[in-house]
Amino acid sequence: MRIMSDTIARLAAFRGRQAGHFPGSTSPDRLSTLSDFGSNPGGLKSRFYVPAGLSKGAPLVVVLHGCTQNAAGYDHHAGWSQLADHAGFALLYPEQHHGNNPNLCFNWFRPGDTRRNAGEALSIRQMIEAMVVAHGLDRDRIFVTGLSAGGAMASVMLATYPEVFAGGAVIAGLAYGRATTVPEAFDCMRGQGAASDEELWGLLRNASRHPGPWPRVTIWQGSADHTVAPSNAEDIAAQWRSVHQLDEMPTRSEVLGVRTKRTWCNDAGEAMIELNTVAAMGHGTPLGDDLGAAGPYMLDVGISSTREIAQFWGISEAREAAFASTVPATVNDRQATLPAPVAPTPEAREAEPEAYALGARWKSPVSDPSGVKRIIEDALRAAGLMR
């Protein structure tokens, strides 16, 4: 029987050892460090980006890097902070470290890290709550995306906390719950051991007690991906079709250059699931136009999945209202922790009574320098995310 530490080491960048280490240390770092976000049971690091002058009520995009990558490198190559500057949204980058996984993979296959209110999944949920409270972000416009192991972890977050996310995007990832051990993870990546639609539905429904509505999901996959078999993208689509109660046949299918896009719409004609297959593309994030830069697992195929994903979510266009007239001095100071929180509005309190159960404990950080951390911890406890 394999020793777990040895078998985890075999999960090297979803076989990414063939391509070497991602050069994150040489990439420009636009991210700040989120230092106080709760008990952090998964032991993850956290980085974030807030465009200068961003007003309260902006969307939040959670971005999960792949194996051998880091947050700053993925941001530079995918171009998310470039788009955030233009469109007006905040970014959160959970980041893995070697102590958790030798190859910097999120542990998307370990039961202790993929359950609601446990492990890495809970750490990411705590980061989200900290960002929302600290920056006054819109709880109705929180999204998550990821590549490879990060894509599989995005599936975990969408399944375990579906009430948190308005939408998700899984790039070269896997359906939720398909593996609980390293050998199973490799089998799934190779496309072995097929699951029925009913089994996929059961895995997702058992991840939470959420009755709906469910997040909208866009899926991206290369047809020549020899690391994560294209059949995994089909599994993800099937898993989400089940909870959205959509037919197996797509509402429409289009060929857009090298990309085939299948879309499933609800009765109102809204696109709820999208499956994009890029012809002849290997394992990685599709890049194109003027966003980002090509690199290992970041593939220039003439299509910016970053921009397309943001368009699917409805957050890609510039919005004047997203930016305030004044710019907080510390908003992206890497030596700073978090900027001053925005007091919850009565409407927000009514919509999210648990997360906003701060009551009279709210204090302005101006008069209470230690207030930021305490407010975040109070919010986490009120939401049941920290003891």
Between β-strands 142-147 and 216-222, what pairing exists: parallel, antiparallel or unpaired?
Answer: unpaired
Between CA 149 and CA 229 the distance in angstroms is 13
Q: What are phi and psi of 94, to 5 degrees?
A: -60, 145
Return the HEC string of 192-244.
Answer: CCCCCHHHHHHHHHCCCCCCCCCCEEEEEEECCCCCCCCHHHHHHHHHHHHHH
Q: How far is CA 195 from the centre of its chain?
A: 24
Instruction: Give me 292's structure tokens.
Output: 């980002």
Concerning whether 148 is annotated as a catalytic residue, the answer is yes
Pairing status of strand 142-147 against strand 60-64 = parallel
Q: How far apart are CA 333 and CA 313, in angstroms?
A: 29
Separation of alpha carbons 146 and 132, rounded Å = 20
SS3 content of the chain, % helix, strand, coil (to 5): 35, 15, 50
Ordered DSSP codes for 271-284: EEEEEEEETT--SS
* Cβ neighbours of residue 314 closer than 8 Å, sequence gap 6 or more: none
Which residues, other chains included, contact 335 with Cβ-Cβ below 8 Å and sequence gap of 6+? Answer: none
Q: Report the run of H or E that residue 373 belongs to, with start and end.
A: helix 371-382
Q: Which residue is associated with the tokens 């908003």?
A: 331
Structure tokens that stand for 337 in this block: 């922790």
At residue 238, φ and ψ (nearest 5 deg) are -65, -40
Question: Annotated catalytic residue: which of 27, 32, 46, 148?
Answer: 148
Yes or no: say if 161 and 137 are a contact pair by the CB < 8 Å rule: no
R_g of the chain, CA atoms, integer Å: 20
Which residues participate in catalysis according to the annotation?
148
